[in-house]
Structure 1
Amino acid sequence: MEYSRKPMFVSLLYVFTIIAVNAVSSTVSAVSLSSDEQALVSIFSRWEAPISVKSRWNSSRIVPCSWNVVECDKTRNVVSLNLSNFGISGSLGPEIGLLGHLKTLDLSSNNLSGPIPVEITDCGRLEMLDLSVNNFTGEIPKKYGNLQKLRFLYFYVNSLVGQIPESLFHIPNLRFLRLSENSLNGSIPSNIGNATKLEDFEVNDNKLTGNIPSSISNCSALEFLYLNGNHFIGTLPQGLNNLENLIMLYVNSNGLEGSIPLGSGSCKNLQSVDLSENRFQGVLPSGLGNCTNLMQFSVVNNNLTGKIPSSFGQLKKLTGLYLDQNWLSGNIPSELGNCKSLSELILSDNNLEGEIPVELGKLTELTRLQLFNNSLTGEVPLDFWKIRSLEKVLIYSNRLYGELPLEVTKLRKLRNLTLFDNYFSGEIPQSLGVNSSLEVIDFTNNKFTGQIPPDICSSKRLMKLVLGYNMLTGSIPPSLGSCSSLIRLKLDNNKLTGAIPEFEDNLALHFMDLSSNNFNGKVPSSLGNCKTLSLINLTMNELSGFIPPELGKLTELGYLNLSHNHLSGSLPSELSNCRKLLKLDLSRNLLNGSIPTSLRSLTALFLMDLRENRLSGGIPSFLFELESLWDLRLGGNILGGTIPFVGSSIISFLNLSNNGLTGQLPDMSNFRNLQQLDVSLNHLTGTLDSLDDIHSFLTINVSHNLFSGPIPPNLLNLFSESTSSFLGNPGLCVDCPHSGASTCPESRDIKVCSIKRNNHKSLQQSIKIAMIVLGASLLTVIAIMSVCYAYVKFQRRSKNDVEVSGEESSHKKIKRVMECTGNFDDMYVIGKGAHGTVYKAALGPEEVYAIKKIEFGRQRAVNKSMIREIQTLGTIKHRNLVKIEDFWFRSNYGLIMYEYMENRSLGYILHRANPLSTLKWDVRYNIALGTAQGLAYLHFDCDPVVLHRDIKPENILLDSEMEPHISDFGIAKLMSQTPAATQSIAVPGTIGYIAPENAFATTWTKESDVYSYGVVLLELLTRKKAVDLSFPDGMDIVGWVGSVWNES
């Protein structure tokens, strides 16, 4: 009975509530309301709110002036309306303009939408208007002539568009104007200087453009100025020095340039300045040392040069100094040791040199030190390691040396210690990690010796341990196997020994690289518990035993390399569960048994390397059907049997050598992408006719089999290049008549296919006599021509032997080029590439060119087709292509004159000795876009199509505005027309930028250029080289990005 009464009670309560609400509504309409109250009822009728909230203004009290969110005067005029953070939705109606006595309107932090009604400007007594943190759209009303008493105007965090109205700055008492985080555009009105009482002006994170008006310096009461996150250009107004009350100045993330105009005036109140992510030039003003209340100063990612002023040492209250990603030089001033309040000192990515000052050890409040990517030398001062407040120390990529002292182990708050790419030596302190907060340890590429500290992960906080490329010895501490916080473990290229510990509780481990050590014992089966592992690299060790089937539990695994060990047993079929596996390398072990058919489920696999094992049982046909597999290496096993017939396959690289294979080659006409084929050292028979339709071959090895019959015509070029790849086949021959060649390729071991003579001996004798007579005649003619050629060559040399583009002025210009470069002296070299050396030639103040000198070789290389080619290239004009100004050809080299680019190449900017670490993202985007536009023009707007053949950062030049210009387009093809080039088959392009299908190709396509461009994009994003020393062996940037993606 108790349970049945409750629902009835709730139902009755609900009915009475409905009746009560209707009664209140009827009563309100019946009661005589003031005009303000009537306007309120109309305004509130547009809104929805939670019932609990709505009851606060629509309760049993009938008169709106009695609502707790409304404040009225004695005559029931509404003077204040405060519904901040009430969860209201709906729109603000025009009735708001009827509240003529309203002084405060606060509707902030709700879900109101729609436009701000223009009628709001009729509220002539408003002192505070706050509509912030809503979803208002449209433009800011433009007329504010009636709001003479307004002091606070807050429209920030909405979706407002349009320009900032000039009328806002005619409000005489305006003190706070906050319009940030909208989509406002246009410029700041120049009449902002009229707002002399303005204390707070915030327009950050909009889309404002143009210059910052100089009149802003008339806002003498200004304390807070936030202009960051816009598109302002030009310089900072000099008058900012006159704003004596200024406390906060934020202009970061714009396009401002010029010098920094601060410090020359009064800046006693200045506490925080952020000028980062701009294009400021020049030196840091020493006068900033007079801003004695300064607490934060940031100029990150600008173009500042010169030294860090010693006057910064006067900033006793400074807590954060951020000067990174500039071009600052000289020493770190020792005076910074006087900034006793400093907690963050960020000087990375500059050209600083010298030693770390001992005085930095006085910074007892320091939590974060970043000095990486400089040229600092010497030892880290001992007192620095005694700063107990340290949390992050990033001093990698310098020339620092010395040993780590025991004091580093006492830094209980230290979370990140990154020292890679230095010359640190000695043993790692064995108590490192005990009672510590360490999360990241990266000592890669130093000279550390000794053992890994046994309790390095005792705190269970360590996430990244990277100690590769040192000289560490001993074994891996067992405690690392139970380091549950560990995500990345990289100990490669050391001298570590012993067994790999069990990894029972490492559920977070993503990446394990223990390659190139001397580990022995078994591959731990407990690795199968590390469910998030995406990479395992144990190559180049002394591991033995079976491959644990537990590895099949690693469903996120993308890279497994156990090669160059002594592993035995069969391939575990459980590996078929690793469906995301991309690379599987088990080569050079002692594996036996057959290849499991269950591996057919590895549909993402693109490389399988099982070479140099003892596998048997034949070649499974499913391997050729894997949809992503393009590199299959099975050589050096005892597979036996025949090569299975396959309908089609995408495989490009196939190695089946030394496997005891028998039978004939199957029909391989559907292997359209096959570039490398090695079936040597088998017992294959029959002919090579099944290969005659494949024209993608780059290399082939069919040696030491039992093949017979003629070599197919499509393989004769490869035969000419490497006859050894066809040896050991007694029945193999060269069928010259079918080759279309004028002469037969010569080989002592491969015979010419037999020709039916039919006793035509007399005919053969006649041919011999004719050949002798013809040969003698040719020798005579050649002798005469040689004498003539020598004479002509001598005459031409006497005249400097210049073949120019045709104009008489060109003769004069090349003489000036020779003079300006000192006859191509090395001191004028600005670059060297695959196709020649580049010199800088300044012919005059406004005539600066880059001259590329192309070497042709000893024999005369110039021909008419080359001249026509360079003339054609000279007609190509596009804003993202380097313009060819002129050209000359000599007997053994050519000269091509280009526009000179002030910012050199993208490669120089990305990878120079001390790179500007962070290019602004809009600059990167413009470089990527401009390069794509230039490449598209070559591919689709040139007739004939121009293929670049060598897209890379070094061939993308940057002008003074950082606009990209592709250079060297067509040069690879031009060089291929020289006799020297035709004597060897060179692969076009540069290693790391060549598409996999072009790895050994002599042909090039648009798609090849696009692949190279994609590699450039990855470099632009990551600042890693295409083939970077930090990558694992055999990995390029494409593979690295893939592994990082999988890891994340």
Structure 2
Amino acid sequence: MTFLTKVLVLSWLKQLDSQISGEIGPEISHLSQLKSLNLSVNHFSGPIPSQIGDCTRLQHLDLSVNSLSGNIPSTLGNLLTLKNLNLADNLLNGSIPKSIFHIPTLKLLALSLNRLTGFIPSNLGNATMLQILVIGNNQFTGSLPFSINNLENLTYLDASSAGLEGEIPLGYGGCKKLKYLDLSFNQFASLPPQLGNCTNLGQFSVVGSRLTGTIPSSFGQLTNMSLLYLSGNFLSGKIPPEIGNCTSLSDLQVDTNQLEGRIPSELGMLNLTSLSLFTNRLTGEVPMSIWKITSLEYLFLHENSLFGELPVEVSELKQLRNFTLFSNNFSGMIPQSLGLHTTQLILVDFEHNSFNGPIPPNLCSGKQLVKLFLGFNTLHGTIPDDIRNCPTLTRLILYDNNLSGLLPNVWANPNLLYLDLSNNYFTGQIPATFVDKLTNITEINLSMNRISGVLPQELGNLLQLQALNLSYNALEGPLPSQLANCTKMLKFDASHNMFNGSIPTALRTMYGLLTLDLSENHLTGGIPSSISQLQSLIELRLGGNSLGGTIPSAIEELKKLGILNISTNGLTGDIPSGFSKLETLEQLDASHNHLTGTLASLAEIHVLTQVNISYNLFTGQIPASLLNSSFYSFVGNPGLCIDCVHNNCDANLTRNLRRCTGASSRKQKGLTKFLTGMVALGTSALLFAIVVLTGLFILQCRRQREKHDTEEMYNDKEEEDDDTLFRKVMRATEDLDDRHIIGRGAHGTVYKASLGSQDGVYAVKKLMFGGSDQERNKSMVREIETVGKVRHKNLVRLEEYWIRKDYGLLLYRYMNNGSLHDILHEVTLRGTIGYIAPEYAFTSTRTMESDVYSYGVVLLELITRKKAADDSFADDDAGFDIVRWAQSVWSESKQIELVVDRGLCDNMHDSIVIREQVTQVLHVALSCTEREPSRRPSMTEVVRQLENVLYAPANHSAEEDQGGPSGTPVHEIIELAS
């Protein structure tokens, strides 16, 4: 800029966006007449020269959007006529010089988007002419100085992302002219009620600033406010109804807080265009006044605890574009007229509610709908033509409903990218024309339906397809080789169907495939060696088929493989030695095959934390690297053994698997193998003869002694029985006359004995021993003696018993409430409070779904150590049973420590694995106890999920394998489910 030094009378210089680079030199001081300097949007670098303070006539200085660095020179305070100072969007550091706030004429100060640090000077309030202050996106410390209340002319303040903390000191003085205030993304403490004094405030934003406390009711005084953003804080309490007084308010966003209570109906008096209340703790029904805000364009109420039905008035919100209600408790039918007048709809998300009835037929009447999410409800019927022909639709999610009927022949949605129809009741075949117009689709999920027939080869025309899930259907026939045309496929799941034939070798062209799951089908043939070309494969599941042959050595080429399941097939041969090259393999399940050889090739896979090779024909020593596994991983292999050096094995392994025998024990010194064998044979024969003769002698003696003991026992007991009570019983029943019989059973007859007013009424059960089997009779006598000692609140107490040679008598207090048969076949409540599924109150019928519910309750008891109807729930707002308590605590906190037993918490702190397993078991329990029976998994699915928990990647310690000191082993949970 040396050329400028000759232009001494220059008063105005503007080089905006001129791509000028270099530094601003000290020669700038020669421009003593300069009044306005604008060098913004260039490539200047280096420091701002302190000599700029010599340009004392400057009124406007704009150096923004450059790469200037260093400190802001304090000499700027010499520019006493400066009105506008803009240094934003540079690389300036250090603190703000105090001298700047001595400039009496300063109206605009913009320092945002720099790297400034330190405290904001306390003399900020001296710049009383300041109207615009922009200091956001810096790294200050401390809070705004209280002197900011002296800035009576301040209209615009942006201090967002500035690193500020503490209290917000505004509203105590001169904020009457303040119209714009953005304090977002700081760490302020709370919202002061004094902010209600800033009555001209039009836009106020404190987003993501960790605010606590409540929203002040004084905000109702801000009648000029059009925008209020308080999202992403920790605000609690209720939404103040006084907000309804903010008559200019058009955009209210208080989402992602901890607000509770009902939505105030007063909000319905506002002409809102956007209302965001999502992710709070709001309850109750949405006021009717909200559904009548005809100006609404964006309504976000998701992730609360709102309930009730949608009124038909919602269909009259003609400006509505985005409408989300997911993760609430809404019920009833979605108004069938929705979309008929709301023609601007772009997003509709009602997932995870309890809506029923059909899908509204006109949701895409305006031809603008982009995303429709209705999953996890109880909707029924078919998919409307309006949805199938919606040209703008990109994502359609209808999973977990009761939708039925045949799959549509044609989907006229050329822009559809994601289609999820899983877990419904769709039937029939997949039509060949199903995908004709889905040319851009990337993901299709048709799992858990009732789809049958063969897979159309036309699926291979979906060249953009990345994920295809067809699992849990009744599809059959061979897998079409045309699927190999889907070269962008990342995940292909065709498990749990009836596919047959061999695995197509053409699938090798799916080079990017990450997951291939063909498990639980009827596939035959071998595992193709061409599978080695799927170099990106992370998860390969082929279990539960009829695959034969050997494991191809080509699998060793799958360098990224993390999960391999080839269980329950007919595989033979050894595990290839090249398995040692699978350095990323974490889970291996080769159980239930006919594999042979040793496990040596697994010894070098250091990340292999979960292995199951049970029920094969493996032999030899289990590698030391696998000794942390559960013994369940090795059962059914009688040829396997363990060598526990320094007792480093899990206790279950040592109890259930044999130890390896050293070679030296088979070579005794001085004896040939032949001589050793002969000696052993002779010795064995001699010992066998001795044992047989001794056994016969002992058996004869025992029979004589038992006969004597039994006779003696009967005689002794008869002598003891010669008492008053026995005589009274026999007299009352007339020596057990048939006239006193009150019942007969498989093991005896019951008599009623009335012994008078003092002794009461008894029931006498006569048990017939019969036959000459003294051992059986003796066993029955022992059982009678044992029963006589049992005491339990739910068992009728045995008062006395008498034994004779041919029969025994049991004496009970007479109970006049009927028999066990009456109880079992009564029509009153069947089940135990706390375990009964909710629908039982309406149907009084036990179903498979209600059994799943009861099992889920048991799971919750196991991991929480609380009873199903624990007294601790009595004062809890969540309800009085374990299900509602667990659902409430988990949905509000997502903290596993608040749900499970304290003993398990200690284990979870020590092991991430245990924490993950317990969390997954909790998820299983909560899914089993879903209120809607149709949402509960089958017990088969429960077992599968728990097995996934059991065999998930884990580095178990001995204590973890046994469930820990306070836990419950997942093995036992699975057995309980089975």
Would the alpha carbon gap of residues 100 and 955 (structure 1) be closer, same or farther in structure 2, given more than 3 Å must change? farther
SS at match of 1:448: strand
Would the alpha carbon gap of residues 531 and 176 (structure 1) be closer, same or farther in structure 2, given more than 3 Å must change? same
C-alpha distance in 1 between matches for 2:861 and 2:113: 48
From 419, 422, 425, give the equivalent of 1:495.
425
Q: C-alpha displacement at 1:209, in angstroms?
A: 1.3
From 683, 695, 720, give the equivalent of 1:758.
683
Specify the alignment match of 1:104 in structure 2.
36
Q: C-alpha displacement at 1:309, in angstroms?
A: 1.5
1:227 aligns with 2:183: no
Q: Which runs of no fewer than 5 residues in structure 2 stay unpaired? A: 666-678, 699-859, 868-884, 896-905, 920-945, 965-978
1:351 aligns with 2:307: no
C-alpha distance in 1 between matches for 2:22 and 2:391: 51
Would the alpha carbon gap of residues 402 and 129 (structure 1) be closer, same or farther in structure 2, given more than 3 Å must change? same
C-alpha distance in 2 between matches for 1:262 and 1:393: 34
1:913 aligns with 2:916: no
Residues 675-694 of structure 1 mapped to structure 2, 5 A cutoff: 676-678=611-613, 680=615, 688-689=619-620, 691=622
SS at match of 1:407: coil
Residues 604-643 of structure 1 mapped to structure 2, 5 A cutoff: 604-624=536-556, 626-639=558-571
Does structure 2 conserve the Cα–Cα contact (< 8 Å) formed by 1:713 and 1:738? no
Q: C-alpha displacement at 1:471, in angstroms?
A: 0.5
Does structure 2 conserve the Cα–Cα contact (< 8 Å) formed by 1:608 and 1:632? yes
Does structure 2 conserve the Cα–Cα contact (< 8 Å) formed by 1:382 and 1:405? yes
From 486, 507, 523, give the equivalent of 1:575.
507
SS at match of 1:188: coil
AA partner of residue 438 (structure 1): L
More deviation in 218-227 or 650-659?
650-659
Residues 868-947 of structure 1 mapped to structure 2, 5 A cutoff: 912-914=890-892
C-alpha distance in 2 between matches for 1:146 and 1:710: 89
1:301 aligns with 2:232: yes
Specify the alignment match of 2:462 in structure 1.
530
AA partner of residue 600 (structure 1): S
From 18, 24, 27, give the equivalent of 1:92.
24
Residues 293-442 of structure 1 mapped to structure 2, 5 A cutoff: 293-340=224-271, 342-410=272-340, 411-442=342-373
Specify the alignment match of 1:14 in structure 2.
none
Does structure 2 conserve the Cα–Cα contact (< 8 Å) formed by 1:358 and 1:384? no
Does structure 1 conserve the Cα–Cα contact (< 8 Å) formed by 2:193 and 2:217? no
Give the paired residue count.
721
1:332-373 deviations in Å (ceiling 9; x for gaps): 111111111x11101111111111111113322211111111
SS at match of 2:532: helix
1:274-324 deviations in Å (ceiling 9; x for gaps): 012113222212221221110111111222222111121122221210111
AA partner of residue 280 (structure 1): L
Specify the alignment match of 1:998 in structure 2.
954
C-alpha distance in 2 between matches for 1:678 and 1:245: 76
Q: C-alpha displacement at 1:118, in angstroms?
A: 1.0
AA partner of residue 252 (structure 1): S
AA partner of residue 568 (structure 1): N
Does structure 2 conserve the Cα–Cα contact (< 8 Å) formed by 1:368 and 1:392? yes
SS at match of 2:232: coil
C-alpha distance in 2 between matches for 1:710 and 1:639: 18
SS at match of 1:113: strand
Q: Give the TM-score normalised by structure 2.
A: 0.66
Structure with bigger gyration radius: 2
Would the alpha carbon gap of residues 951 and 634 (structure 1) be closer, same or farther in structure 2, given more than 3 Å must change? closer
SS at match of 2:248: coil
Q: C-alpha displacement at 1:911, in angstroms?
A: 7.8
Would the alpha carbon gap of residues 198 and 992 (structure 1) be closer, same or farther in structure 2, given more than 3 Å must change? farther
1:573-600 deviations in Å (ceiling 9; x for gaps): 1211222323222122232333322111
SS at match of 1:284: coil
C-alpha distance in 1 between matches for 2:31 and 2:257: 55
Residues 712-727 of structure 1 mapped to structure 2, 5 A cutoff: none
Q: C-alpha displacement at 1:909, in angstroms?
A: 14
AA partner of residue 199 (structure 2): K
1:233-286 deviations in Å (ceiling 9; x for gaps): 110115455411000011110011033334442x33210000121132222122
Would the alpha carbon gap of residues 609 and 487 (structure 1) be closer, same or farther in structure 2, given more than 3 Å must change? same
Q: C-alpha displacement at 1:380, in angstroms?
A: 2.2
AA partner of residue 523 (structure 1): L
AA partner of residue 758 (structure 1): T
C-alpha distance in 2 between matches for 1:106 and 1:83: 6
Specify the alignment match of 1:41 in structure 2.
3
Residues 84-233 of structure 1 mapped to structure 2, 5 A cutoff: 84-233=16-165
Q: C-alpha displacement at 1:391, in angstroms?
A: 0.9
SS at match of 1:465: strand
Specify the alignment match of 2:834 in structure 1.
none
AA partner of residue 75 (structure 2): K
Would the alpha carbon gap of residues 835 and 383 (structure 1) be closer, same or farther in structure 2, given more than 3 Å must change? closer
1:187-206 deviations in Å (ceiling 9; x for gaps): 11000111111100110111
Specify the alignment match of 1:470 in structure 2.
401
SS at match of 1:303: coil
C-alpha distance in 2 between matches for 1:755 and 1:701: 36
Does structure 1 conserve the Cα–Cα contact (< 8 Å) formed by 2:170 and 2:195? no
SS at match of 1:41: helix
AA partner of residue 593 (structure 1): G
Q: Percent identity?
A: 32
SS at match of 1:486: coil
SS at match of 2:492: strand
C-alpha distance in 2 between matches for 1:992 and 1:298: 44
AA partner of residue 215 (structure 2): L
C-alpha distance in 2 between matches for 1:674 and 1:954: 14
Q: CA-atom RMSD, angstroms?
A: 4.3
From 425, 428, 449, give the equivalent of 2:380.
449
Does structure 2 conserve the Cα–Cα contact (< 8 Å) formed by 1:403 and 1:426? yes
AA partner of residue 435 (structure 1): G
1:547 aligns with 2:479: yes
Would the alpha carbon gap of residues 542 and 947 (structure 1) be closer, same or farther in structure 2, given more than 3 Å must change? closer
Residues 494-893 of structure 1 mapped to structure 2, 5 A cutoff: 494-501=424-431, 502-624=434-556, 626-639=558-571, 646=578, 648=580, 650=582, 661=594, 668=601, 670=603, 673=608, 676-678=611-613, 680=615, 688-689=619-620, 691=622, 695-696=626-627, 697-699=629-631, 758=683
1:888-925 deviations in Å (ceiling 9; x for gaps): xxxxxxxxxxxxxxxxxxx99998434599xxxxxxxx
Q: C-alpha displacement at 1:533, in angstroms?
A: 2.9
Specify the alignment match of 2:746 in structure 1.
none
Does structure 2 conserve the Cα–Cα contact (< 8 Å) formed by 1:159 and 1:183? yes
Does structure 2 conserve the Cα–Cα contact (< 8 Å) formed by 1:223 and 1:245? yes
AA partner of residue 385 (structure 1): S
Does structure 2 conserve the Cα–Cα contact (< 8 Å) formed by 1:434 and 1:458? no
Specify the alignment match of 1:842 in structure 2.
none
C-alpha distance in 1 between matches for 2:350 and 2:408: 21
1:654-692 deviations in Å (ceiling 9; x for gaps): 555666x587668657465485444637xx5xx822647
Q: C-alpha displacement at 1:426, in angstroms?
A: 0.4
Q: C-alpha displacement at 1:630, in angstroms?
A: 5.0
Specify the alignment match of 2:207 in structure 1.
276
SS at match of 2:164: strand
AA partner of residue 189 (structure 1): P
C-alpha distance in 2 between matches for 1:627 and 1:620: 15
SS at match of 1:192: helix
Q: C-alpha displacement at 1:135, in angstroms?
A: 1.4
SS at match of 1:160: strand
AA partner of residue 210 (structure 2): R
Does structure 1 conserve the Cα–Cα contact (< 8 Å) formed by 2:495 and 2:521? yes
Does structure 2 conserve the Cα–Cα contact (< 8 Å) formed by 1:377 and 1:399? yes
Specify the alignment match of 1:930 in structure 2.
none
SS at match of 2:228: strand
